[in-house]
Amino acid sequence: MSRRVLRATLSLAASVAFMPLALSAELALNSRIDAVTVFPDAAAITRIGEVKVPAGQHVLLLRGLPAALDPASIRIEGKTDGTDTGALRIGSVDVRRVPADTAPSQDVQKRLRDLRTELAKVRGRIEALEVQKKAVADFARMAAEAAVKEGKGFDLAQARAAWAAVGEGTAQANEGLQAESQRAADLDAEIKAAELAGGRPRQPLQPLVDLAIAVEADRDLSSTLALSYRVGGARWAAVYDAQLDTQANGSVAKVNVVRRAAITQRTGEDWGDVALTLSTARVAGGATMPDVTTQALALSEPAVVFGGVRSRSLAMSAQEERAVPGAAPAPMADLGKVVEREASAVTSAFSASFVVPGRVSVGRDGAARTLRLSSHVLDAPLLAKVAPALETRAYLSASLAWADDVPLLPGEVSLTRDGAFVGKAQLGLVAPGESFELGFGVDDRIKVERVPVRRRDNDPAGSNAMRNQISDHRTSISNLHRRPMRISVVDRIPVSENTAISVEALPTNTPATERNVQDRRGVMAWSHDYAPGEKREIRLGWRLRWPADRELVSQ
């Protein structure tokens, strides 16, 4: 017996000339989701189904696919058992949108019927026990009244026997009521759970998709079909752990960058025990650059006043209207390592994929499923940064060089330093070979003090007088570590945006090692290697001159 492979490029027409769907016999195609490729903005689903196709023309009917399915993305491949003379030919695919099936499944319906029937029986037994309890009380009352009417004397032995009988009957009734009431409560909870699981309609109601696949078989065939399609409502986003180890062997600290993927999906299908691949390619957006049109300029119209209310110009565009916004746990004893499995990366010229080992399940409720993709231990030269004009604390940062072939996608990074969680940050896109920097919290072993040396203002007189102001500060930096540290102090002097304002640096300033840091005018840095216990001082001051009749505004 040989295996024949069939491949088809589908035409999504409503019917096929040689094979009218309305006149063909329908065969149910039962399938399961076997593999899923998740993109940052969609997912590609592969279903596997087996079907026996008699000779002749038929329609394979696959029911209940999600409404977010893209009909243009449907592809079918398959294998058949047969001889060289037998073949299964695929014609068209009819995409039928049908209302969602809001009724519970047959199993759920049967379970609900059984539970409600048992609950009715329990309630009947409760009513009977209530009647029994009332009858015991009525018997005791009527026996006492009869004895009084007949004038009989009080017989203590008979009274004790009657009390015992009444008490025993009442206790039995109460015990039965307690047990049956508890059973009724349990049944009521089971009924509510069953209704929640499958007895309530989906809100809001979502249509489903049925696929009718026209086929023709030369003879009776057993076929295995692989159906793939793309759906929206699924995505994955990169998240990271950056674990700084300042006690690593060697003179340079290490950072372990762990790349993870947070997967969410609301496609309407459960991905149970599937082969999962994550791709960096974006497939839901446009395939070509948007068209660049002419941009025309015009003067804005003055505001119009209606009834005392100042409004925007009547010529405001609809686009403008839409634009209005609304501490770480202690480490466990070393009893053996628990290691997370990592994905294997496959790179191409324009994208990368991560093949997750084993089989994975992801529910359709939108809850994030996080998987580990890779980890890389990088050398991390440390740098303490200080901005004394803003805050007299030093922040530790590490400079890293990304050497992997797969870029780091933008995402949130959780930061730990020597096992202690210090915060979160946002990581931008990092290309292979590119350097980037991560902060790891306050460094309390760097002492920072900033004090004003002098501040002086003159008292101008006359209409053409100029106001003068001198500001001068001294910043002292001390390295209290037992190790050498690279420390960078970043400060600034004002810059003038008006020729009437003069800014002059004081001659007592400490020369900076870098000016216009990150292309920011007036921002400068003093970066030096500090020995253990070393202290340095930085002087920074400036003189301002501007017309005395004008107010100076800092922006």
The per-residue pLDDT for range 365-374, each reduced to its tens digit, is 888 899 999 9
Domain contains 310: no
Do 130 and 163 lie in a common domain? yes
Residues 251 and 386 occupy one common structural domain = yes
As a whole number, mean pLDDT of residues 287-316 equals 58
The structure tokens listed for 167 are: 């008490």
Q: What is the pLDDT of residue 87?
A: 78
Surface-to-core class of residue 524, CB atoms within 10 Å of its CB (0-12 exposed, 13-18 middle, 19+ buried): buried
Residues 548 and 555: their CA atoms lie apart, in Å, by: 19
527 backbone dihedrals φ, ψ, rounded to 5°: -110, 125
Q: Which of 442, 462, 490 is the last residue of a domain?
A: 442
Comparing 242 with 208, which gets the higher pLDDT? 242
Structure tokens at 417: 């330093």
Q: Quickly count: other Cβ atoms within 10 Å of residue 34's Cβ.
A: 17
Query: What residues make up the domain containing 371?
Result: 234-279+341-442
For residue 166, the Cα-to-chain-centroid distance in whole angstroms is: 65
Residue 163 resides in a domain: yes
Domain membership of residue 327 (yes or no) is: no
Shared domain check, 262 and 358: yes
Amino acid identity, position 378: L
Higher pLDDT: 411 or 191? It is 411
Residue carrying structure tokens 């696929």: 211
Q: Do residue 216 and residue 241 come from a single domain?
A: no
Rounded distance between C-alpha atoms, residue 514 and residue 494, angstroms: 16
Residue whose C-alpha is closest to residue 58's, from 17, 11, 19, 7? 19
What confidence category does residue 165 fall into, taking pLDDT thresholds of 50, 70 and 90?
confident
Q: What pLDDT sits at residue 230?
A: 93
Q: How far apart (Å, rounded) are the C-alpha atoms in residues 54 and 222?
A: 9
138 lies in the same domain as 258: no
Q: What is the pLDDT of residues 40-60, one digit of tens each?
A: 999 999 999 988 888 888 898
Round to the nearest angstrom and report the end-to-end CA distance of the chain: 83
Residue 451: inside a domain: yes
What is the reported pLDDT for 202? 45
Alpha-carbon dihedral of residues 181, 186, 187, 188, nearest 10 degrees?
A: 90
Kindly tell me the burial class for residue 398, based on how many C-beta atoms sit within 10 Å of its own C-beta (0-12, 13-18, 19 or more): buried
Residues 517 and 525 sit within 8 Å (Cβ to Cβ): yes
Q: Which of 1-5, 314-318, 344-348, 443-447 has the highest mean pLDDT?
A: 443-447
User: Is 335 contained in some domain?
Assistant: no
Do 390 and 531 fall into the same domain?
no
What secondary structure letter does DSSP report for 430?
A: B
Taking alpha carbons only, the member of 58, 49, 127, 113 closest to residue 90 is 58
Cis peptide before 460 (omega within 30 of 0): no
Contact indicator for 467, 546 with CB cutoff of 8 Å: yes
**Identity of the residue numbered 309:** V
Query: Can you tell me whether residue 150 is helix, strand or coil?
Result: coil
Same-domain check for residues 254 and 385: yes
Residue 375 burial class via C-beta count within 10 angstroms: exposed 0-12, middle 13-18, buried 19 and up: middle
- pLDDT > 90? residue 15: no
Domains in the chain, number: 4
Three-state SS for 449? strand
Q: Identify the top-confidence range among 4-18, 105-119, 281-295, 528-542.
A: 528-542
Higher pLDDT, 136 or 439: 439
216 confidence band (pLDDT: 50, 70, 90)? confident
Q: Are residues 500 and 377 part of one domain?
A: no
Query: Does residue 554 form part of some domain?
Result: no
Same domain for 378 and 270, yes or no, is yes
Is the domain of 240 the same as that of 221? no
Lowest mean pLDDT among 4-13, 39-48, 337-346, 504-513: 4-13
What is the rounded CA–CA span in Å between residue 93 and residue 553? 70
Residues 264 and 411 in one domain: yes
For residue 67, CA distances in Å to 210, 225, 247 come to 9, 21, 54
- How far is 243 from 441, CA to CA, in rounded Å? 12
Give the pLDDT band of residue 279 (cuts 50, 70, 90): very high
* Residue found under tokens 């319906």: 109
Quote the mean pLDDT of the chain: 80
Residue 410 lies in a domain: yes
Q: Which residues are CB-neighbours of 426 under 8 A, at least 6 positions away?
A: 410, 411, 412, 413
Q: Report the share of the chain in percent with pLDDT over 70.
A: 77
Residue 313 lies in a domain: no
Is the same domain home to 261 and 347?
Answer: yes
58 burial type by CB count under 10 A (0-12 exposed, 13-18 middle, 19+ buried):
buried
* Listed residue (86, 60, 381, 61) closest to 208, CA to CA: 61
Question: How far is the C-alpha of 261 from the C-alpha of 369, rounded, in Å?
Answer: 8
What ranges in 314-379 are assigned the alpha helix state H? 318-322
